[in-house]
């Protein structure tokens, strides 16, 4: 009898301890089940939200095709008007970027030979063409320069890009006929193609000798913000 009671008593003690332990265990199991249910509900909702969220759009590109005036000849990389324009765009025009494909010494022929590759590589929304100064300084035929610029504008527009054509002027020692014809090339092409035109890049500083380096051709660093602001008058409307 004692043996039997001991077993029963032992079982009762075990059952009693189990009863005391079972409540927190059941609570813990309950929390696990509840959490599982919450995750089961949350994951499909999160997946649905991710699916519904629009994909980030790639940045639209401004491609600059220029010569040493745009390449920042004699300046630190961050000082040229193109770099300053890129900084302004980064701060004021989210979703845009600038690619400077300018090369010192570039002619309109060089730009015309490179335009297709640059368009394919960068897929720009806006193309800024600042070329011709080296053609004029070498006295190259005006018809040749015009044909090269025409090819660049045509290719850019065909790719779907807007175009800003930036003009230059030649010193009077090249003769009135040549200098006038040189300037007229830009206005005629802009009118022919219906593109934006900045007639003379250096207009804000042209009469200020201190704004140029010792070669009297390339602007100094302190003049670059004026060029940036000058170009911006025609570029900003194209970034809408």
Which position among 67, 68, 159, 183 bears the catalytic label? 68
CB distance 32 to 39 below 8 Å: no
Which position among 67, 145, 218, 230 bears the catalytic label? 218
156 is catalytic: no
Residue with tokens 């200020």: 208
Integer Cα distance of 235 and 228 in angstroms: 10
68 is catalytic: yes
Q: What are phi and psi of 116, to 5 degrees?
A: -60, -45
87 is catalytic: no
Closest CA to 111 of 49, 154, 82, 172: 154
CB distance 85 to 228 below 8 Å: yes
Query: Which uninterrupted H or E stretch holds 84?
Result: helix 81-92
Closest CA to 111 of 62, 149, 60, 54: 149
- For the record, the structure tokens of 165 come out as 């054509």
* Burial label, 177 (beta-carbon count in 10 A; 0-12, 13-18, 19+): exposed
Active site residues: 68, 215, 218
């Amino acid at each position: 009898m004692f043996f039997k009671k001991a077993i029963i008593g032992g079982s009762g003690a075990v059952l009693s301890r189990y009863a005391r332990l079972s409540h927190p265990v059941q609570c813990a199991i309950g929390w696990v089940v509840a959490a599982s249910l919450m995750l089961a509900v949350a994951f499909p909702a999160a997946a649905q939200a991710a699916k519904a969220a629009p994909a980030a759009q790639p940045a639209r590109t401004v491609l600059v095709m220029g010569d040493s005036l745009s390449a920042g000849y004699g300046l630190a990389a961050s000082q040229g008007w193109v770099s300053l324009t890129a900084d302004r765009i980064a701060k004021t025009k989210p979703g845009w970027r600038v690619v400077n494909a300018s090369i010192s010494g570039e002619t309109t022929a060089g730009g015309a030979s490179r335009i297709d590759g640059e368009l394919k590589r960068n897929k720009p929304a806006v193309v800024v063409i600042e070329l011709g100064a080296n053609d004029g300084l070498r006295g190259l035929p005006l018809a040749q320069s015009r044909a090269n610029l025409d090819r660049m504008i045509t290719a850019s527009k065909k790719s779907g890009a807007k175009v800003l054509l930036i003009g230059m002027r030649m010193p009077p020692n090249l003769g009135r006929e040549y200098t006038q014809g040189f300037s007229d090339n830009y206005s005629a092409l802009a009118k022919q193609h219906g593109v934006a035109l900045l007639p003379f890049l250096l207009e804000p500083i042209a009469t200020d000798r201190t704004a140029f380096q010792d070669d009297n051709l390339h602007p100094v660093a302190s003049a670059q913000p004026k060029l940036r602001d000058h170009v911006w008058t025609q570029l900003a409307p194209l970034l809408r």
